Chain A
Amino acid sequence: MSSQEHIGLLGFGTMGAGIAQVFASAGHRVTVLEADQARLDAGFAFVGDFLAIGVRRGKLTEAERDALLARIEGTVNAADLADVDLVVESVTERSEVKKALLAKVAAVVGEQTPLLTNTSALSVTDLATAVPNPSRVAGLHFFNPAPLMPTIEVVRAVQTDESLVQRLVALVASLPGKEPVVVKDRPGFLVNALLIPYLNDVVQAYDDGLASAEDIDVALKLGLGYKAGPLELLDMLGLDVHLHASESAYQATLDRRYAPPPLLRQMVAAGRLGNKSGSGFRAEES
């Protein structure tokens, strides 16, 4: 597993760009499939900007950056993924979109080639039903920003072959600074299963007037040493992303702790999505 792998990456959004960087920085080759050239350009720009910060801070040299970027290539043609060793899917969190794309890519790659999904909110077991040989499907769940967050969840679906789980654990462990955690295919896996109820609880308590958004964040940062307060974290994650994860987990469990609080829905309805829209719980419109 220490040898160079050729990764077929589906999707070059924020998470896809981060995942491409993680694999390329560990010496692997990445071919990214996107719908059109504009999305590929945006993904490369995102990786380039991220690495520029690293160069400025002396974390990598310009030569290292150039070598890393040279290991990532883009394509809009699924046939270009024919020779990849593994596929990592990181497109929009919609079941039908992921299933259609996985089926399309499964028809191009080898019939035993692992198909991994970075879904955070959908069932890996359900996604696996979209392809032949579903035992080669598992979850490989990165946290945002993927280049900086050590944890990667390896999700074992009902169909997943045990040897694939072991292969992924070894792969993640071989990535510099990354730590695998093998988790069950439950809604939210491990981290989000814990995080979603906490964040929803904070939103409800804020709506109930417990304290100002700033004071809630300050209290939890100073009191518990968290790097980010819960409302800042929601602004970073994107309120729409959190709402979707929360709804999915609630539908799958009917556990009221996952039910999105009314204020969360209202913020999303009003277009206040957090940092990306310039307005959220803490982000101010400028």
Chain B
Amino acid sequence: MSNERKTVAVLGAGTMGSGIATVMARAGHRTILFDVNEANLERGLGTVRSFFDRSVSLGKLAAVDAEAAKATLVGATDLKELAASDVLVEAVFEDLSLKKDLFGQLDDIVAETTLFHTNTSTLSVTGIASGSRRPERVVGTHYCNPAPLMKLVEVADGRHTASWAHDATVEFLAGLGKTSVVTKDRPGFIVNRFLIPWENSCIDALENGLATRDEIDAAVKGSLGHPMGPFQLLDIVGMDIHQQVATRLYEQLRDPRFFPPPMVERMVAAGDLGRKTGRGFYTYDDTRLFGS
């Protein structure tokens, strides 16, 4: 099954959706990128295409393979166009009722055996699955940003996920060249579950004067083998995103380690969101991320 060509619909043409659509097209699946907003959709399709073009210019992909991947990709703004999908990957805005509503509508459009994947990072898979009349086919598949470059996918079953859906999901992800880890439907899965308190404690250490920004970044890299320091990473993630994820996890867990320290709110209020605004913990002349 993993080598079989499938029809995969990716819902939501934002950063994660277009990244996931890139993965699907690269793996040879017939890929439909869906967004209700025509302009968002065009931007997302452009992101996917330019990723392939850049891969060619960097010598990482043969031109013929890039053309083949681009040829498998189509856009859609009407859910009815997703009827032939074998797999749906939901990557829309992190709003529970929006995601539930989408899965409910898709129940009437796609086949009964179509897998429903949600790329939620902070909501409950079970909660999202409750929007479908067939929650047994809903599986959490959490990709990392940027999805085309990051191998990891966290797989989390909801309370009603069937073993056939879980097993088919793990096999499908292996066919994409991804490494899946199996975790529980708990807030933050594995990576955010540990990253958020870690980043918060580093921000606390800075705010409490334990050491300077540069010292903390250097010490974490120089003693723990992390590829970048906590403040370098936060500047890439974006302080607004960190604040949102941390707050959502705190709301579910009520554990103060997840609550964003006061410095986060001040930085967001000041517009110092990180690399994308040119200033976060550090200042940047180039606001592009990942060379995009």
**Does B111 interact with chain A (Cβ within 8 Å)?**
no
Residues of the B chain whose Cβ atoms lie less than 8 Å from the Cβ of A211: 181-184, 190
Given contacts A149-B223, A190-B216, A193-B205, contact A219 B210 (CB under 8 A): no
Residues of the B chain whose Cβ atoms lie less than 8 Å from the Cβ of A210: 183-184, 186, 190, 193
Residues of the B chain whose Cβ atoms lie less than 8 Å from the Cβ of A220: 190-191, 194
Contact A190 B152 (CB under 8 A): no
Binds B, one of A37-45, A176-184, A244-252, A272-280: A176-184
Binds B, one of A7-15, A128-136, A201-209: A201-209
Bound complex: CA A184 to CA B222 (Å): 18
| From B189, B215, B233, contact of A190 by CB (8 A) | B215
Contact B219 A191 (CB under 8 A): yes
Chain B's interface size range is: 35 or more
Closest beta carbon of chain A to B243's beta carbon, Å: 19
Closest beta carbon of chain A to B147's beta carbon, Å: 12
Can you list 7 A-B contacts with CB-CB less than 8 angstroms, sorted by A residue number? A153-B219, A181-B219, A201-B197, A219-B190, A222-B150, A223-B191, A223-B195
Closest to A184 in B: B210
Closest to A214 in B: B181
Closest to B151 in A: A222
Binds A, one of B99-107, B125-133, B224-232: B224-232
Further contacts, 19 of them, CB under 8 A, given A150-B221, A226-B225: A149-B223, A150-B223, A179-B219, A179-B222, A191-B219, A191-B220, A194-B205, A197-B257, A198-B194, A198-B197, A198-B201, A209-B184, A211-B181, A215-B181, A216-B181, A218-B179, A223-B190, A226-B227, A228-B225
Closest beta carbon of chain B to A200's beta carbon, Å: 11
CB under 8 Å from chain A, chain B span 140-177: 144, 150-152, 154
Contact A151 B190 (CB under 8 A): no
Contact A151 B210 (CB under 8 A): no
**Does B98 interact with chain A (Cβ within 8 Å)?**
no
Contact B215 A181 (CB under 8 A): yes
Bound complex: CA A219 to CA B143 (Å): 11
**For the complex of A and B, 6 pairs with smallest distance between CB atoms:** A227-B225, A151-B222, A150-B222, A222-B152, A215-B181, A225-B227
Contact B218 A226 (CB under 8 A): no
Contact B184 A181 (CB under 8 A): no
**Does A18 interact with chain B (Cβ within 8 Å)?**
no
Closest to B186 in A: A210
Contact A257 B257 (CB under 8 A): yes
Residues of the B chain whose Cβ atoms lie less than 8 Å from the Cβ of A190: 205, 210-211, 215-216, 219
Closest beta carbon of chain A to B245's beta carbon, Å: 13
| From A186, A219, A225, A257, contact of B226 by CB (8 A) | A225
**Does B202 interact with chain A (Cβ within 8 Å)?**
yes
Contact A219 B183 (CB under 8 A): yes
Residues 195-220 of chain B, each 1 if its beta carbon lies under 8 Å from chain A, else 0: 10110011001000011000110111
